[in-house]
Chains A and B, each alone.
Chain A
Amino acid sequence: MFSNALIISFTFGYLALLFAIAWFSERSASKGRRLSNHPAIYALTLAVYCTAWTYYGSVGRAATNGLEFLTIYIGPSLIAPLWWIVMRKIIRISKVQRISSIADFISSRYGKNVTLGGVVTIVCLLGILPYTSIQIKGIASSFQILQGSGVTETLANLPFYQDTAFYLALGLALFTVLFGTRNIEATAQHEGMVMAVAFESIFKLIAFLIVGVFVSYFVFDGFTDIFSKAVAEGLDHLFVMQGENSASEWFWMSVLSMMAILFLPRQFQMGVIENTNERHVDTAMWLFPLYLLLINIFVLPIAFGGLVHFPIGNYEADTFVLAFPIAFDQKWLAILVYLGGFSAATGMIIVSTIALSTMVSNNLVMPLLLINDQFQKRYQHRLGLVLIWSRRVSIFLIILAAYLYYKQIAGQFTLVSIGLISFVGIAQFAPAIIGGIYWKKGARIGALVGILAGFSIWFYTLVVPTMVIAGYISEVLLNEGLFGLGFLKPQSLLGFSDLSYISHGLFFSLTINSILYVVISIFSQQTSKEHNQAIIFVDIFRYSESLDTAIVWKGQAYVPDLRVLLMNFLGVNKTDDALQDFVKHTGKKLDDKIYADPELVNYSELLLSGIIGSASARIIVASVVKEEEISMEEVLGILKEARELKSLNDQLEINSKELQIASEKLKSLNESLQINDMLKDEFISTVTHEMRTPITSIRAFSEILLDQDLPEADRARFLEIIIQETKRMSRLIDQVLDLERFDSGRQELNLENSNVDSLILEVIDSMKHIFLEKGLHFEYNLINSNVLIQMDQDRIKQVLLNLLSNASKFANSKVILKAKITESHLLISVSDDGKGIPEEELPYIFDKFFQAKNQTSKKPLGSGLGLAISKKIVEYHHGTIEVRRILNYTCFEFTLPFAQSKMKIIN
């Protein structure tokens, strides 16, 4: 019906379109616009679940088994609401631990164990290979039908170099290599590939809906027409659940597909590794089931329509979808449907192969190579290259192996049956994973034995029969059991023959697997590393935010060693970037010490985990780190501490941050207002009190002076007192005004370069007679330097006079003035040998009117403002003043810094 050239050019045209989409999205992402960062895209990529099996096979299955085909879609839809719990947890673990595949996930959970990772990889390879090959079968057979040859056998028997399917497989491998192995970090998202897969999901859905509408409304007269004709043909048994065991059959199939949607390598790749945001799961929870519903609406109509319309034997039911457009001569519709099937198949092949190649490189190749010291030495600087090429080569090998499998075996089975066998293989991971993320006791050895046992039973009950049918093994095994033992018949173990072939295999493999996993785990002892991982996995939501700071390495490593290690995989630039990131986030410096911080070791291991998988990363980091065994208690302690701190902080922050800030502001405002108010009140009342004293004397004596018969001597004496008291008052007023100017910041200094020694001498000159009068011994020294210091001479003199006059009031016999200069300061101290200031009063000594308020100390002459003003003056010079008791001396000491640039200068 179509020429080969036309079909091939459409096929490769479609591939070119995929290339274009992938290339465009990668370019857009490199400019910072990530198209894939959208929940709808995420949901669409999950639809990679719908392969050629869905596209062609559902109709085929419905044509023979009726409604049962739906189980594979009911399972995922039923479990979708649980994704919020399960999937989100797996995603969070994978992001935090930089998990690169499902093998890595399991290996990481059970102590980053190499063996387990390898076993899971091999199980995946063996389980998925047939599945991949049926995709090639789907492409090949649709291709043939489009050609019009109609006979499936012919093409499969051609030598490979004449087989179009072979070249298509190579094309797919090339695409996968180009868009799947660009980045060495397996955890890095494949933007181009994701967008291509999302496009394919839309394309296959639209193609299927169009053909569905065509069959239902153009070939037939709507659903009712099809169903009534089907009833007339005696097909009504397909409308209902069939037979005695149908209920258990539905149950087992749903369980199977629930596990498949989570653990198939391609689903894990799309759902977990390529996930850009946990919240996208929300949308996928309803959008993905909706997608499944849409793509299944027309399955039954097409199946029954095909059964009604086509004579038996003309077309395989698997190909009804394509047969209708051809039979009704709708060329373009036929091409569209073919391409839809092609997109369904290629989506699966591409994603599965990327996932598998990551597992092969990270969980098989790398560990094997790294265990070999010789190899590690020889290739240590090219490990990155080895890694990426092992991925590329394995992509080609996997696709070629799938092609070979298709040529040899797959041709003989329906799409669905092989798909289901793969599902059961993958389901063997369920106990280890589900147990691993909810049960801390789940142990490595239990997981390993469970998976191996389940896998063996899977092979024996499900794969062996297909090999018998394909003619590789004698039929005797099927009919009489292994060693002729009837209870070992592959399809009816222990005589169980009530279940269908698939359910039987699933039941036995999964049951034995689960029992072994649980029982062995209970009776085995975890190592501390394993236990550590178990806690992280199970309690991921508690720990994920504190993990960065919780250090579970204990040992010594050298920074240069780690740097070299990272450079081998990341290259110089990315390594530098990564280390700079580390420095920025932790605030720790790297260069000034040779020993690496445990946090850096951890960070390096995580970085490498993203590239070569956790088990390999552990091996390679261990090669440069002298690690000590860390006890379980230590690990728990660290994690708990980090967590508690974190949650405590969070709570405090969340609950009371804003409230606290607001109330604190108010409080401090209120407080400072109150204090201000109080101080002002107190100041005024003290000032007025201090003023009343001289006024009282003045008034009293003035009234006395009014008396006419006052002796002349008294009159003179009283007048002298009045004058003294008047002076005292005006001094007080001056000082109050001084202080007020300093307080309000309106005081200005008259700065000039001053000779310190001459200033000191001037002050001493005016104090000398007072010391003499009081019989005090006075000692002083000069700085003996011509250095000029900027200061307001009058003000500094005022300070010195105040200190000296205070000293003279309190001294017993001696006053000492010392001056010296340091590199940056002038330092002057005044000491007296008086009884000193009580310790509890020291903090208040510079307060205004302090001595006036203080009732119990001896009241000296003076206003009580001298020290307060002195302090202000020194502070205005950016200096400090303090008082302390040294031996038996009370020592006031003030400093003046040389640099005075910030001061106001007048004149």
Chain B
Amino acid sequence: MNKILIVDDEPNILLSLEYLFKKEGFKVFIARDGEEALDLISEIEPELVLLDIMMPKVDGYEVCKHIKEEHTNIKVVFLTAKSKQQDIQKGLNLGADLYLTKPFGNKELVSKVKNLLN
């Protein structure tokens, strides 16, 4: 069973994502901000992190940077409302495997995540 960490500060978005991926058979962990995410990553060692950018304390960019430096095997998918070209570029430059913008289609998101893991 694939381990996945979902990081977002919006409780409703978190809830919907958790529901969606659990239903698809993932083992889902959640974090409500960047700091919590960093704590969890080394503990649970997920295969993939679904990452928001605009979050309190530590933002998504920082989290991604840390993951790509310390845990090169963990895949990172940005899932954010930031849709400007320069934001996307910045995310990909940090080593993210995928950059998806909100709002998203559920099926599309799940299939992209699955693709990445196979």
Q: A residues within 8 Å of B by Cβ? A: 685, 688-689, 692-693, 695-701, 703-704, 714, 718, 721, 724-725, 852, 855-859
Are the CB atoms of B56 and A689 closer together than 8 Å? no
The 8 sampled A-B contact pairs (Cβ below 8 Å) are: A685-B84, A697-B10, A704-B16, A704-B20, A855-B55, A855-B57, A858-B56, A859-B56
In the bound complex, do residue A855 and residue B106 qualify as a contact, i.e. CB atoms below 8 Å apart? Answer: no
Among residues 1 to 58 in chain B, which have CB atoms less than 8 Å away from a CB atom of chain A?
Answer: 9-10, 12-13, 15-17, 19-20, 54-57
Q: What is the predominant secondary structure among interface residues of chain B facing chain A?
A: loop
The reply to whether the CB of B97 lies closer than 8 angstroms to some CB of chain A is no
Q: Give the docked Cα–Cα distance between A701 and B56 (Å).
A: 24
Chain B contacts of A852 at CB under 8 A?
54
Write out the residue numbers on chain B whose beta carbons fall within 8 Å of the beta carbon of A698: 103
| B90 is an interface residue with CB less than 8 A from chain A | no
Asked if A697 and B12 sit within 8 Å, CB to CB, the answer is yes
What is B's interface to A at a CB cutoff of 8 Å? Answer: 9-10, 12-13, 15-17, 19-20, 54-57, 59, 81-84, 102-107
Q: Is the CB of A703 within 8 A of B81?
A: no
Closest residue of A by beta carbon distance from B106: A703
Q: Using Cβ atoms and an 8 Å threshold, which residues of chain A touch B59? A: 855
A697:B81 contact, CB within 8 angstroms = no
Q: In the complex, what distance in Å separates the CA atom of A856 from the CA atom of B107?
A: 33
Contact of A700 among B20, B54, B55, B82 (CB under 8 A): B20
Q: Is B12 a contact partner of A689 (Cβ separation < 8 A)?
A: no
**Nearest Cβ on chain A to B31's Cβ, whole angstroms:** 14
Residue pair A700, B81 in contact (C-beta under 8 Å): no
A725 to B103, CA, bound (A): 13
Q: Which of B56, B81, B106, B107 contacts A693 (CB 8 A)?
A: B81
Residues from chain A with a CB closer than 8 A to the CB of B81 are: 688-689, 692-693, 696
Chain B residues with CB under 8 A of A695: 102-103
Interface centre among A696, A857, A859 (most CB of B within 10 A): A696
What residues on B are CB-neighbors of A859 within 8 Å? 9, 55-56
Known A703-B105, A704-B106, A856-B56; judge A697-B82 contact (CB<8 A). no
Among B10, B12, B56, B104, contact of A857 (Cβ-Cβ < 8 Å): B56
Shortest Cβ distance from B61 into A: residue:
A855
Query: Across the interface, which residues of B come within 8 angstroms of A701, CB to CB?
Result: 12, 16
7 additional A-B residue pairs with CB within 8 Å, beyond A699-B103, A700-B13? A697-B16, A701-B16, A704-B19, A721-B15, A855-B55, A855-B57, A856-B57
By beta carbon, the residue of chain B nearest A724 is B12
Q: Which residues of A contact B82 (CB under 8 A)?
A: 689
A695 to B104, alpha carbons, bound, how many Å? 10
Q: Which residues of B contact A857 (CB under 8 A)?
A: 56
CB < 8 Å: which of B55, B103, B107 contacts A696?
A: B103
A857 vs B54: C-alpha distance when bound (angstroms): 12
Residue of A nearest to B60 (CB): A855
Q: A693-B81, A721-B12 are in contact. Are A700 and B56 (CB under 8 A)?
A: no
Residue from the set B12, B19, B55, B102 with the largest chain A CB neighbour count within 10 Å: B12
Chain A residues within an 8 Å CB radius of B16: 697, 700-701, 704, 718
Chain B residues near A697 (CB-CB < 8 A) = 10, 12-13, 16
* Chain A residue, CB-CB nearest to B9: A859
A859 to B35, CA, bound (A): 14
Closest 10 pairs (CB-CB, A-B)? A700-B16, A692-B81, A696-B102, A697-B12, A696-B103, A703-B106, A699-B103, A689-B81, A859-B56, A695-B103
Residue of A nearest to B32 (CB): A859
Q: Quick one: given A689-B82, A855-B55, A856-B56, are A700 and B10 in contact (CB under 8 Å)?
A: no
Q: In angstroms, how far is the closest chain A Cβ from the Cβ of B63?
A: 12
Query: Using Cβ atoms and an 8 Å threshold, which residues of chain A touch B12?
Result: 697, 701, 721, 724-725
Q: Chain B residues near A688 (CB, 8 Å)?
A: 81
Q: Smallest Cβ distance from A852 to chain B, in angstroms?
A: 8
Residues of B within 8 Å of A724, CB to CB, are 12
Asked if B104 and A696 sit within 8 Å, CB to CB, the answer is yes
Q: Which residue of B lies closest to A721 (CB)?
A: B12
Q: Min CB distance, B37 to chain A, in Å?
A: 14
* A383–B55 CA distance with the chains assembled, in angstroms: 91
With A and B bound together, what is the CA distance between A688 and B16 in angstroms? 21
